[in-house]
Amino acid sequence: MTDLYAVMGNPINHSKSPSIHAQFAEQAKQDLVYSAMLVPKEGFEPAVKDFFKGSGKGLNITVPFKEQAFQLATALTPRAQTAQAVNTLVLQEDGSILGDNTDGAGLVRDLVMNQHVEITGKRILVIGAGGAVRGILQPFLEQDPEHIVIVNRTFEKAQLLADSFKDLGSIEAKAFDELTEAFDVIINGTSASLAGELPPLPESVVATHTAVYDMMYAKELTPFLVWAQNLGANKIIDGLGMLVEQAAVSFEIWRGVKPDSVSVLSSMRKQLQGM
């Protein structure tokens, strides 16, 4: 019987995950079907249970259900426990459901392997304090950066997040108007770009050596990346690679096979530019 996998979210019709996983399955010669499932906002738990009662073996979870998936999982990986959010569910042989978070691993893979951006020993600025940022901090701190600064429109949220991760490395929260020096790497973990907005960053945070990463992506450069480009950033990178790489980590967890993410990223980039 063909194994079933899916991504659950609301909305979901924009999801590129089915295309990504179909390419992974084809290259790895895996017998599976991966679909996108629109789940009512009040119906997440029954949807997951029904899926796993059938031929379902694994799920990706996207907005707005990552925190609910964290609560639903009967076991958690250390990185999911730390993130307090889950984007990958795995049906175990004993019927239990393992929750994992592959977002941070995907972002680190994209930066280090695909973009050749060094994290170790570097000063990193992270914008945002929501679930997306919470999911990346442990994998980033495992790379042993010199220091991470978190900024957010609500300072208290940034402070709570920094306090949650301070045992893992050098990390602090700052207000936007406290930023004066340039950073080696800047990560935009907010969805501001989708609304055409910019976080209130001083221009001084970007220098000619700075790599700037926006977790969002679109056919054209996001407003945040245009801003960084105009300031002379060394590299500007959108979040498509993170999407593919976090999917690759999920696929490897489910199937025990590491897919060729580079070729799939190239394919997805062509699809995006052809939209």
Residue 130: alpha-carbon gap to chain centroid: 12
How far lies 86's CA from each of 9, 27, 80, 152, 155, in Å?
Answer: 13, 27, 6, 22, 25
CB within 8 Å of 48: residues ≥ 6 apart: 8, 59, 69, 72, 89, 97
Give me the half-sphere count of Cα atoms (radius 13 Å) on the Cβ side of residue 70. Answer: 20
Residue 65: alpha-carbon gap to chain centroid: 14
CB within 8 Å of 274: residues ≥ 6 apart: none
For residue 193, the SS3 value is helix
The active-site residue, picked from 16, 29, 41, 66, is 66
Contact 210, 185 (CB under 8 A): yes
Taken in order 27, 30, 33, 39, is the CA torsion positive or negative? negative
Catalytic (active site) residue 29: no
For residue 4, the SS3 value is strand
Annotated catalytic sites, by residue?
A: 66
